[in-house]
Structure 1
Amino acid sequence: MDKELLNRLTEKINKGTASAEELALFNAYMNSLSRADGDQDWAEQRMGGSEAVRKELWEQILPMLTETRLMKTFPWRRIAAAASVVLCLSVGGYYLLKDKTENPEVIAAKQQDFTPGSNKAILTLSNGKQILLDEAGKGKLAAEGNSVINKIGNGRVVYNDDRSLNDNAANVLNTMATPRGGQYQLTLADGTDVWLNAASSITYPATFTGKDREVEITGEVYFQVAHNADKPFRVKSNGQTVEVLGTHFNINAYDNEAAIKTTLVEGSVAVTANNQKKFLKPGQQAMLSSNTLTTKSVDINEELAWKQGYFDFTDADIKSIMRQLSRWYDVDVEFVGPVTTETFTGRISRGRNISQVLKIVEGSKYVHLTFEERRIMVRM
């Protein structure tokens, strides 16, 4: 590629006016750098350790990105040669290009399309009655235990403690469950706020009685726990227990994920599983995998991207990406042939139709996606 063409592509990419074909051309050129032999190896003595530079670039550039294309690119040893070409971020060998959401070239042809998920859930009362919350009107839905259940807006249900009901509140359990393609917000009787991601559920007392507050979840749920020093708050999920007094945290406990991940945003929590116990500080994550509980520091923005309306991938393999898309768009996924071991990094709005998201994923040129009814066929 001659210098003049490369400069033109760079200018268009930085302005957000590059077409899909131009992005593909640029990406192919950058990937060719990683395969070419040469003397442009990463010079740590002159430029610093690659991991340190990666972290610094990530922290500086990520806040500027509202949405990104998902692409694979060249490894770290070629960044020095390409840094002057385009504003890019390489993370473990992959880069992000800023995606102007208003760019019409990004929009995919809608031969078959599915809209993104929305606010929908099913509320199951203690007597087994089910309420379809996306169809229910605002106002009082039911009374359970010593609580009145109100739908106060699209996507939110609130339990209001009302002792005048004089009901036997003990052992009155309710369950809220979101389907694939659903999300919902819930305020428990103690004032704790709960957000459910797609294909998730929470079972909880209509009124908290006794010495503690205990709920059980599946899928992914974010909590802002109302502080009560006299009543610890416990969350159970697949053999794990998280105990808090009042704090903000996220639990990802999907059955088809390799680990249960508990991420602390604010306050402190104790995570217990298989006779192991870990205390988390803000910005730390506990991982329960193969009956082993470990902790590490994580990027909170990445872990909570779903709550902010984004998919956020960092060195994510294609199977992990497709699991998230399957849950949010309520589609099945089938892999045809060998599966690539390449990983990808990027941020994509959950408000896009699935055709637009798949167009971004296919922009990597390492994945080819087709529809068969409500099934996505993935080929490498």
Structure 2
Amino acid sequence: MNLLSLYHFFAGKASDKQKEAIKRWAESSPDNYETLCREKKIFDAGILLVDKKELSQKENAPLLYKLINYTVKIAAVVLLVVVSVTIYKYQELVKKSEVLQTILVPAGQRINIILPDSTFVCLNSNTKFSYPSVFATNNRKVKLDGEAYFEVSANKNKPFYVHTSKGEIKVLGTHFNLEAYSNADVFKTSLFEGKVRVRVKGNNIYLKPDQMVCYHKNGKIHLETIHDYDQYRWREGLICIKSAKFKDIMKTFTKYFGDSIVVQNKEVEHYKYTGKFRQSRGVINALRLLQKDAPFTIEQDEDKQIIYIK
């Protein structure tokens, strides 16, 4: 409903047809009724700005004086409306920025989303990601437990923060990969474009493109140059392994496929492998490929929830 129509109604200047239209609009939804009540309070507050006694004493004043007085009155009401609406919108923005939406990505799946500021995010398997429906006025904050690739929309006035259980990332506009599973031993941030600040255990580390910082559970932090980009091809559905031990490969399979794998064959624990696996083909297919080079058998429980390597 047009605000001018409402104020015309409040001032007693509306026709019967206009009154009926406003009545139907107000009764059509609780939000409309709330708006009507709120604007009525604003209108009444504006009317109180004018001293009615003073106006009555000047009924015989020249027409120009009455016109100026009326104009001042309307200007005061309009000013109050503008201020009130601005405050109301700001409060609504604050409320929305505090309410987080959460996405849970199941094992074996990936999800792409676009945030309210046009930032692109690709979420990996077993990831929990939280973000507001509307960002605050001075920053953009999200939460991550898992792995995600970000293409952050540039905005020098609103830095972008990613909070995790192990550290915090701050950027203005950049492309980077963040691996921050709360139950993992390693926290990794890899930068492809732009600049990021990684804050972990009181340390601030600034990355340049093609650099990666790793924070280990034992407290060690090391910075290195990225030479192998295959590790980030999870966004394409590829699991890329490079000279990894068998037990570490099983951890990776659990992360991507979600299956519980129990290694009973101790002879294969130190076996190393380099190769690529298509996630969509499933864990059994991946294990079959490993069987070509390592001597082990595959068994599953009756519910096919646990895989035994024998």
Task: Judge conservation of contact 1:283–1:300 (CA < 8 Å) in 2.
Answer: no
Secondary structure, aligned partner of 1:328: helix
1:222 is aligned to 2:149? yes
Q: CA RMSD in A?
A: 2.2
Task: Judge conservation of contact 2:171–2:195 (CA < 8 Å) in 1.
Answer: yes
**Aligned pairs (5 A) from 1:309-348:** 309-338=237-266, 340-348=269-277
Give the fraction of aligned pairs with identical amino acids, expressed as a percent. Answer: 27
Hey, what does 1:190 align to over in structure 2?
A: 117
Higher RCO (C-alpha 8 Å, min separation 6): 1
Secondary structure, aligned partner of 1:341: coil
Hey, what does 1:31 align to over in structure 2?
A: none
Secondary structure, aligned partner of 1:260: strand
TM-score normalised by L of structure 1: 0.53
Secondary structure, aligned partner of 2:110: strand
Task: Judge conservation of contact 2:231–2:241 (CA < 8 Å) in 1.
Answer: no
1:166 and 1:283 map into 2 onto residues whose CA distance is 37
2:95 and 2:154 map into 1 onto residues whose CA distance is 25
Task: Judge conservation of contact 1:310–1:350 (CA < 8 Å) in 2.
Answer: yes
* CA distances 1:4-44 after superposition (whole Å, capped 9, x unpaired): xxxxxxxxxxxxxxxxxxxxxxxxxxxxxxxxxxxxxxxxx
**Unaligned residue ranges in structure 2 (runs of 5+):** 1-88
1:367 to partner: Cα distance: 4.2
2:238 and 2:251 map into 1 onto residues whose CA distance is 15
1:305 is aligned to 2:233? yes
1:239 to partner: Cα distance: 2.5
1:292 is aligned to 2:220? yes
Judged with a 3 Å threshold, the aligned counterparts in structure 2 of structure 1 residues 169 and 205 are, in CA distance, closer, same or farther, namely: same
* CA distances 1:253-277 after superposition (whole Å, capped 9, x unpaired): 2234320111111111111111112
Counterpart amino acid of 1:260? F
2:97 and 2:111 map into 1 onto residues whose CA distance is 26
Judged with a 3 Å threshold, the aligned counterparts in structure 2 of structure 1 residues 370 and 194 are, in CA distance, closer, same or farther, namely: same
TM-score normalised by L of structure 2: 0.65
Secondary structure, aligned partner of 2:107: coil
Secondary structure, aligned partner of 2:286: helix
Which of 257, 262, 267 aligns to 2:184? It is 257
Hey, what does 2:66 align to over in structure 1?
A: none
Counterpart amino acid of 2:281? R
1:307 to partner: Cα distance: 0.6
1:374 is aligned to 2:305? yes
2:233 and 2:298 map into 1 onto residues whose CA distance is 24
Secondary structure, aligned partner of 1:377: strand
2:272 and 2:183 map into 1 onto residues whose CA distance is 19
Task: Judge conservation of contact 1:259–1:288 (CA < 8 Å) in 2.
Answer: yes
Judged with a 3 Å threshold, the aligned counterparts in structure 2 of structure 1 residues 241 and 345 are, in CA distance, closer, same or farther, namely: same
Task: Judge conservation of contact 1:224–1:246 (CA < 8 Å) in 2.
Answer: yes
1:167 and 1:325 map into 2 onto residues whose CA distance is 41
**Aligned pairs (5 A) from 1:146-165:** none
Judged with a 3 Å threshold, the aligned counterparts in structure 2 of structure 1 residues 207 and 172 are, in CA distance, closer, same or farther, namely: same
Counterpart amino acid of 1:361? L
Counterpart amino acid of 2:273? F
Judged with a 3 Å threshold, the aligned counterparts in structure 2 of structure 1 residues 295 and 167 are, in CA distance, closer, same or farther, namely: closer
1:367 and 1:189 map into 2 onto residues whose CA distance is 49
Q: Name the structure with the higher helix share.
A: 2
Counterpart amino acid of 1:328? Y
**Aligned pairs (5 A) from 1:36-75:** none
Counterpart amino acid of 1:346? G
**Aligned pairs (5 A) from 1:48-197:** 168-197=95-124
Hey, what does 2:283 align to over in structure 1?
A: 354
Hey, what does 1:207 align to over in structure 2?
A: 134
Please tell me whether Structure 1 or Structure 2 has the larger radius of gyration of its CA atoms: 2
Task: Judge conservation of contact 1:265–1:300 (CA < 8 Å) in 2.
Answer: no
Judged with a 3 Å threshold, the aligned counterparts in structure 2 of structure 1 residues 362 and 255 are, in CA distance, closer, same or farther, namely: farther
